[in-house]
Structures are given as structure tokens and as C-alpha cells.
A and B are shown apart, each in its own frame.
Chain A
Amino acid sequence: MRELRHRLFLRLTTWLTLTACFAVLSSALLLALNLSMVMTLWGDDIQVTAYLNQDAGPDRLREIEGILKRDARIGRFEYTSREKALTDFRAQMASYAPDLAADDDLLSLIPSSFQISLAGSAPADRLEDLAHDLKNVAGVEEVRYGQEWLKKYSAVLSALKGSVGLIGGVLLVAGLLVIGNAVRASVEARRNEVEVLEMIGATSWMIRKPFLMEGATLGFLSSLSAVILTFGGFLAVQGVIRDELNFLNLAQHVRYFPLWGVAFAVVGGTVLGAMASYLCIRRLNDGWAAAGGRR
């Protein structure tokens, strides 16, 4: 009875440990997934703004328009005259700083510009090339885009992917060891049974099956509970993003794993469990074992 309780306890702790392992792993994956999604989302919004020289006349303007039209990297562009820019600026500023908005000298400070969006999705390096080329166009005074921000973002993202990979590797090995440990304990507890089964002519598959099943079951239950746990966590975070961080406009974009991803995680956990127990019972009974391998 005490033995039974002990084994139950061991299985319970194994299950909890594995669940924690898998939950951390899937949370990290989920975070990486959503960050990269937000990245492309914001990446799509990135515009290059080319400010024109104060003295660029209508001819120059038409020339530049022609260049922009011919450039395959550019999807859409829009001209903003300095008058329009000023009106927009005044409208925005009116409530904050009415004095500033009324200043007529502003007109001479605000340049006219082109707002340029890239064709297709825009990797950071392509954006940089384009900005560089635009700068060399006659009549373009300055080119602005979110370069610093974008670079930092990519760096953060690749660091994140790297560490998720690393954490994932460590956690998978830890998972293998934890399952292996539980299965080894249950092999130890059932050594007598294994010997009896060998003696009456059970094949090695028959003898191993229950241990493989035990490992697979542990893997299945743990990955399933980890997926559920992570989903709960996800819903909570999504709620916070919707209610508290609404200005980020992300609530409808953050995603949980797709269904196939969940299925893959659970199947993967099950396979991992079976594999871990296979690794530690490989040498359980290879024919002549019970006597020769009686430790």
C-alpha cells in the first residue's frame, strides 16, 4: 500500500514537473509567435517619408513622381503639399498649443513630402536600400523612416528566437530525463514482474509495452495540461491587452497556436514520452538478460 502510494506520488510529481516544463516551453513559443506577428503587422505600416527641398518646383515634383512610379520596390505613394502638411499640423496642435498653431512662420519651416509605402512585406534591409536611393534623388532633402526602431525590433526578435530555441532544447532534455526517471523507477518496482514475464515466454515487445505506454501517457497528459494552462494564460494576457493596453490596438491580432499546432504539441509530447521510456528500457530484456543482467 505504501509502495503504491509512493508510485502514485512519483507519477504525480513527474506529471507536474513535465507540465511546468512544457508550459514554459509553449509560452515562450507563443510569445515569439506573437511578437513576430506584431512585427510584420507594424512592418506593413512602415512608411518612408521623403521631404523635398524648399525650392523644388513643380517640374522637379513631376520628375520625382516619375522615379517613384518606376521603382518596383514602391507600392504606393502620396504627395503632401506643404500647405496640406501645415493644415494637418495645425489641426493636431490646435488643442494643445494654439499659439504655435497660429504662427505664420511655420509655413516656411514645414516642407512638402512624399509618403511612400513599400510593395509587399518590407524586410528592414530593403527599406534601408530604398531610403539610401531616395536620398540621392535630386530635390529630396531628407529621408525618414523608423530605421532605429526597426533594427532594434529585428535584433530583439532574433535574440528571442535564439533563446526560445535554447530554452526549448534544455527543457526537452529535462523532459526526457524526468520521464526516463519515472519509468526507470517503475521498472525497478516491477523487476520481479518483468522476470516472471520473461520466464513464461513474453516477447520483449509485450514486456516493454506497459512501460512505453506509461511514458507516452505521462507525455500526453503533461503536454495536454501544458497546452490548457498556456491557453488560460493566453486568455488572461489577451484580456489585459484589450482592457489596459487598448491604445496598442493589438487585441484582435494576438493569437493562440492554431489547432494543428496544439495537436502537434500534444502528439509531440506523447512521442517524447514514449521515446524517453524506450531509451531507458532498451536494455531491459535482451534475451539473456534476466540472469546475466541481474545487476
Chain B
Amino acid sequence: MIEFSHVYKTYPGPVHALKNVDLSIGKGEFVFLTGPSGAGKSTLFRMISAFDLVTSGHLLVSGYDLTRMSASEIPYFRRRIGVVFQDFRLLKNLTVAENVALPLRVRGDTESQIRRRVAEMLEQVGLPHKQDQFPEILSGGEQQRTAIARALIHQPGVLIADEPTGNLDPELSEEIMDLLERVCAQGTTVFVATHDHEMVKRRNKRAVRIRAGILEGDCR
């Protein structure tokens, strides 16, 4: 599903954000990415979501070769993945349901398909009663669940989440992690970056460690 081989990323400076990264994540796996601040976690995720281009090496995601992809293919690639950020990135002028529906709108689904699917998705993240509210009045956990619903509504093969619980208290974090595990159990590959070592230990999943751009630990 996700295949890094000899990936380097160098920013002007030069800042060597990723150095010779080799990493393979299979279909339906749940993997944590840990590492200190500035280690390159977000950089790795930006490569996977095609928000940035690798400097050298190869990167395959969901069957797309991201090192050879043309700019016009990028939107279609992004419809095969789901992305969640620490800061939710909900559109504040849209309701919860409208935010969640966005990926289907972009894809051109019919209104009835969208309504049905949004209802299903909000059910899954436990927010059916909030569908007509605006994100600003929701709690952090509810906002993040909305963002996760948006990232999953188009049934992507891969979900990447960059510190999805970074802005949430421990209880809400557990709630979000439970949700992500359920999603994974349904067959989606889930790749989560986090600072929270305790949680990684508790969850007992595969964890990859990165430090100064170098992958240095991979324990299952």
C-alpha cells in the first residue's frame, strides 16, 4: 500500500528532512510513526499525500508511483487516500454534514448518494445529531471525528493522520484512536504520526521511529 525505497527529501538550505528512507506498509495494516519534533514526520506524510515531491528515490502509494505522477493526476490520486491533520482543517462556513460530504461532491456523486453516505459516516463516528451544526461550536474531539469522517467518506485504501490527537485531552485521544482502529479493522491501511509514546505502547501495534530524517526503529 505504501512503499518507500531510498527516499531522500532535501529542502533548500539545505535541510535534509528525510535520508534514505525505506519503509513498506501493507494493506490493512495499522502503523504508528513516532519521533521527536523536527524529525521529519510531517515531511513523510506530505510525501505520501503528494503535497510535496521526493528529492530522490521511489514512493508508491495505492498503486500510484508518486515520483512519476503528473500534476494533473494528483487530484485523482488524492481521492484514493484520506488525510487527517492535528488542526482538523474543517471549513467553518459549512455544516458538519457539508464538510463530511466534500470529497463526494468533488467526485461528482449524486445528491441522494451523498446524503445516504454522509448519514452512514456520521453514524460511524457517532455524530449523527450534530450534522447541521457548524464546526466552531463543536468540541475538539467532535471536530476531529468530523475530519475523520471526511477523510473516510470516499472509502480510501489509505488513511494518514498527522498527530490527530495532538490537540485533544487523553480521554478524547483514546476515543479517536478507538475509531481509527475500527476503521483499520474494516480493511483501511492506517498510518498515524504521534508524540504520545504511552499510547503507542498501550495499543500494541507496529511502530516506526524516525529521528533527524532517518528511520531507526520498526517494531511490531
Contact = CB atoms under 8 A, between A and B. Distances in A.
A198 B112 CA distance: 24
A290 B42 CA distance: 13
Nearest to B42: A291
Contact of B106 (A206, A287, A290): A206
A146 B134 CA distance: 77
A179 to B, nearest CB: 23
Contacts of A287: 50, 70-72, 74
A125 interface: no
Contacts of A201: 75-79, 103, 106-107
The range of chain B's interface size is 20 to 34
B75 A291 contact: no
Interface in B136-161: 150, 154
Contact of B150 (A195, A200, A202, A288): A200
A209 B83 CA distance: 24
Interface string A272-284: 0000000000000
Given A200-B106, A201-B78, 6 more contacts: A199-B51, A200-B154, A201-B79, A287-B70, A288-B51, A290-B51
A83 interface: no
Contacts of B78: 198-201
Contacts of A192: 89, 91
A193 B102 CA distance: 11
Contact of B50 (A202, A203, A286, A288): A288
Please name the 3 residue pairs, one residue from A and one from B, whose CB atoms are nearest each other, closest first. A287-B71, A201-B78, A201-B79
Contacts of B83: 199
B50 A196 contact: no
A202 B91 CA distance: 15
Contacts of A195: 89
Contacts of A204: 75
A291 B46 contact: yes
A193 B46 CA distance: 18
A288 B71 CA distance: 7
Interface of B: 46, 49-53, 70-72, 74-79, 83, 89-91, 102-103, 106-107, 150, 154
A185 interface: no
Interface residues of A, number: 19
Given A288-B51, A288-B53, A291-B51, A197 B106 contact: yes
Interface of A: 192-193, 195-204, 206, 286-288, 290-292
A292 to B, nearest CB: 6
A201 B72 CA distance: 11
From A204, A206, A291, residue with most partner B Cβ within 10 Å: A291
A139 to B, nearest CB: 84
A202 B75 contact: yes
Contacts of B53: 288, 292
Contacts of A292: 51-53
11 contacts: A198-B78, A199-B83, A200-B78, A201-B78, A201-B79, A201-B107, A203-B72, A287-B74, A288-B51, A288-B53, A292-B52
A196 B75 CA distance: 12
Nearest to B49: A199
Nearest to B11: A292
Contacts of B76: 201
Nearest to A290: B51
Residue from B51, B53, B107 whose CB has the most chain A CB atoms within 10 Å: B51
Nearest to A288: B53
Contact of B91 (A196, A198, A206, A291): A196
A115 to B, nearest CB: 74
A193 B91 contact: yes
A173 to B, nearest CB: 30
Nearest to B151: A200
B106 A199 contact: no
Contacts of B90: 196
Contacts of A200: 78-79, 102-103, 106, 150, 154
A291 B52 contact: yes
A286 B46 CA distance: 15
Max chain B CB contacts within 10 Å: which of A196, A199, A204, A286?
A199
Nearest to A200: B103
